[in-house]
């Protein structure tokens, strides 16, 4: 009985120790915009991004429901979901990666730290390895992650009809911002 009890205590302490390094959000933000020649803005925001950050290992995971991107125009949103990204067929986008320079971040000291992240981004049924620079800000026990990078639509087999080719750039600007809190 003592062995079982001590085994349980050991297991619980390992789980508790891991929990001290897990931060999460369900309200992260991912935005994208297209810098095409047309004066029409093609921009969307998604404020329902789920993410977990392990401050001990540097692992980061993101999950995004594609239909949760919202545009100024309902028609643009409909075309995005039905014609371009086929969100019924590919409802989710994910990123699984790691902070490459984790030792440069002091999670116990307030400040902003430059980071480099590498991992696998899955979008539109295609998985590609990406690398991005960003920053982690630590303030009063909370962590904010920020990154800005570009994706090429053709890398993810998203085709743009010639009819709207002047409105949508092949390179899409992506901005990620997540405010993490310690997972309880």
Q: Does residue 90 sit within a domain?
A: yes
The answer, as to whether pTM is greater than 0.75, is yes
What is the SS3 assignment for 140?
Answer: coil
Q: How many residues does this entry show for the chain? A: 184
Q: Does residue 1 sit within a domain?
A: no
What does each of the 184 residues of the chain score in pLDDT, given as a tens digit? 444 443 433 433 344 345 578 999 999 999 999 877 766 778 999 999 999 999 999 999 999 999 999 999 898 899 889 988 999 999 999 999 999 999 999 999 999 999 999 999 999 999 999 999 999 999 998 999 999 999 999 999 998 777 777 778 888 999 999 999 998 7
Q: Does residue 5 sit within a domain?
A: no
Q: Does residue 46 sit within a domain?
A: yes
Q: Does residue 9 sit within a domain?
A: no
Total count of domains within the chain: 1
Residue 54: domain span: 23-182
Q: Does residue 8 sit within a domain?
A: no
CATH code of 139's domain: 2.40.128.110
Exposure class string for 91-121: b at 16+ Cβ within 10 A, else e: eebebebebeebeebebeeeeebebebebeb
Q: Does residue 3 sit within a domain?
A: no
Question: Is residue 85 within 8 Å of residue 158, measured between CB atoms?
Answer: yes
């Amino acid at each position: 009985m003592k062995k079982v009890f001590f085994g349980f205590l050991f297991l619980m302490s390992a789980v508790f120790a891991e929990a001290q390094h897990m931060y999460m959000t369900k309200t992260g933000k991912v935005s994208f915009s297209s810098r095409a020649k047309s004066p029409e803005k093609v921009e969307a925001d998604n404020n329902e991004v789920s993410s977990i950050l392990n401050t001990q290992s540097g692992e980061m995971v993101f999950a995004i429901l594609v239909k949760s991107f919202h545009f100024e125009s309902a028609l643009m949103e409909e075309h995005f979901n039905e014609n371009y990204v086929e969100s019924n067929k590919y409802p989710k986008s994910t990123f699984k990666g790691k902070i490459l320079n984790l030792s440069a971040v002091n999670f116990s000291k307030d400040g902003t730290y430059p980071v480099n992240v590498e991992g696998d981004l899955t979008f539109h049924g295609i998985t590609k390895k990406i690398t991005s620079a960003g920053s982690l800000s630590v303030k009063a026990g909370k962590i904010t992650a920020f990154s800005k990078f570009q994706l090429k639509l053709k890398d993810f087999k998203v085709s743009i009809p010639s009819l709207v080719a002047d409105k949508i750039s092949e390179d899409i600007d992506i901005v990620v911002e997540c405010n993490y809190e310690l997972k309880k």
